[in-house]
């Protein structure tokens, strides 16, 4: 039988010196004995996968409303794709794959129903009450909202996974551990940076794929995008018999492969150039070391602008999402008016968290379908 200690020795032997080793994890907010077989980050990954919030991602919108197409991505399939790309990049750089995957799997746990339109609506409803941001909510889900353990709230994940969920926090304070004093860092671990960039690679590429599948954008429109054309021309040279959606799908596959290879090579060069020698050296850097090459970064910015102009705010997408968000607004207001509708468990939190935050937590956790059903139940008579 292989023990946790043997796996920790293997990490020390095969991972890059700048990787985050599980043996020196800061640990968890609530003390728990270490597992005899599994590493700390393996346990975190399992806790995320077995959470209710993770299962609900299957019913949440990525770009197109959940249920509007059999092959369109949901928030769950997006998350699994991010985890896959994260592991590939982490392996290519000799980083801790378990930590990287745990962060990737948890990164969207706090996303609202109806995608970014739902997030924007919740933020408007929470104006003056702390607002709403799905990154902050993901951290809140794993620290407070999930209830699986009798001795503490949340999933009690390690500090390193929670570090990776604080995407937009400029500096983070790490508590003291073992004989290492507390310290404030400018950057996150390489593993957290990988999960963050893998998220970007995934949603640009796969949202483009869904947009093509739904005929909201066309290859002719993409012809001015360097990211598309570089792979499109290569596919046309190598596979002259491909056309239509079969060709376009393979182009997307090639785009992802190019992005991943670019990130591995560019990040490796950046790590070597900075001469960092440990995970904490990485955290002390003023900027992220996981990066694209300059050329690909420029091309990705152009692609981002294109997708916002032509896909994310396309009338067929925005119109449906806007109608769905009106349902969200009405359900939110119905709970504010009658907090007893929240149920006993959520209602208990009103005193501690306040009514608005409690309602926001409850609504943001809903799947698209459940929110529509709740609107029918709560608001049907008011139409």
- Predicted local distance difference test score (pLDDT) of residue 122: 97
Output the DSSP codes for 7-48: HHHHHHHHS-TTS--GGG---BSS--PPPSSS-HHHHHHHHH
**3-state SS assignment for residue 213:** helix
**pLDDT over 80 at 306, yes or no:** yes
Torsion-angle region of 156 (φ positive above 0: left; ψ -120 to 50: alpha; else: beta):
left
What is the set of domains in the chain, with CATH numbers? Answer: 4-165+172-318 (1.10.3210.10)
Structure tokens at 290: 């996981």
Q: How far apart (Å, rounded) are the C-alpha atoms in residues 336 and 7?
A: 50
Structure tokens at 12: 């020390």
Q: How far apart (Å, rounded) are the C-alpha atoms in residues 251 and 220?
A: 14
pLDDT class of 8 with cuts at 50, 70, 90 = very high
What would the mean pLDDT of 176-186 be, rounded to a whole number?
83
pLDDT tens-digit readout, 214-265: 888 999 999 999 999 999 999 999 999 998 989 999 999 999 999 999 999 9
DSSP 248: H
CB 107 within 8 A of CB 282: no
**DSSP E strands, the chain:** 172-174, 183-185
pLDDT tens-digit readout, 317-351: 777 778 889 999 999 999 999 998 888 777 778 88
**pLDDT over 70 at 352, yes or no:** yes
DSSP 154: B
- Which of 227, 226, 208 is closest to 218 using CA atoms? 208
Neighbours of 292 (CB within 10 A): 20
Structure tokens at 136: 């902050």
**Average pLDDT score, the chain:** 92
- Predicted local distance difference test score (pLDDT) of residue 69: 53
**3-state SS assignment for residue 301:** helix
């Amino acid at each position: 039988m292989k023990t946790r200690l043997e796996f920790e020795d293997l990490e020390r032997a095969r991972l890059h010196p700048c990787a985050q080793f599980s043996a020196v994890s800061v640990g968890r907010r609530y003390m728990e004995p270490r597992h005899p077989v599994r590493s700390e980050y393996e346990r975190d990954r399992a806790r995320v996968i077995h959470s209710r919030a993770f299962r609900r991602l299957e019913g949440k919108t990525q770009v197109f409303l959940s249920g509007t197409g059999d092959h369109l991505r949901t928030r769950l399939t997006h998350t699994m794709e991010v985890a896959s790309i994260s592991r590939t990049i982490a392996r290519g750089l000799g980083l801790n794959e378990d930590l990287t995957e745990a962060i990737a799997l948890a990164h969207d746990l706090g996303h609202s129903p109806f995608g970014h339109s739902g997030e924007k609506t919740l933020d408007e409803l929470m104006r003056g009450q702390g607002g709403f941001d799905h990154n902050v909510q993901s951290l809140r889900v794993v620290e407070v909202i999930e209830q699986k353990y009798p001795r503490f709230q949340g999933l009690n994940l390690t500090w390193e996974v929670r570090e990776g969920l604080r995407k937009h926090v400029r500096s983070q304070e790490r508590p003291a551990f073992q004989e290492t004093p507390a310290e404030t860092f400018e950057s996150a671990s390489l593993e957290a940076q990988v999960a963050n960039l893998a998220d970007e690679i995934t949603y640009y590429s796969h949202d483009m794929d869904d947009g093509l599948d739904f005929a909201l954008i066309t290859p002719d429109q993409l012809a001015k995008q360097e990211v598309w054309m570089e792979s499109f021309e290569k596919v046309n040279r190598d596979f002259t018999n491909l056309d239509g959606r079969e060709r376009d799908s393979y182009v997307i596959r090639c785009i992802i492969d190019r992005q991943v290879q670019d990130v591995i090579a560019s990040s490796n060069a950046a790590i070597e150039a900075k001469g960092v020698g440990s995970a904490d050296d990485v955290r002390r850097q003023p900027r992220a070391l996981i990066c694209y090459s300059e050329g690909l970064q420029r091309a990705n910015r152009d692609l981002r602008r294109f997708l916002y102009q032509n896909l994310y705010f396309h009338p067929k997408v925005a119109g449906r999402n806007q109608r769905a968000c009106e349902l969200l607004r009405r359900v939110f207001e119905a709970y504010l008016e009658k907090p007893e509708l929240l149920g006993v468990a959520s209602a208990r939190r009103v005193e501690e968290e306040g009514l608005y935050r409690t309602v926001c937590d409850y609504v943001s956790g809903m799947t698209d379908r459940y929110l529509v059903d709740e609107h029918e139940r709560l608001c049907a008579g008011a139409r």
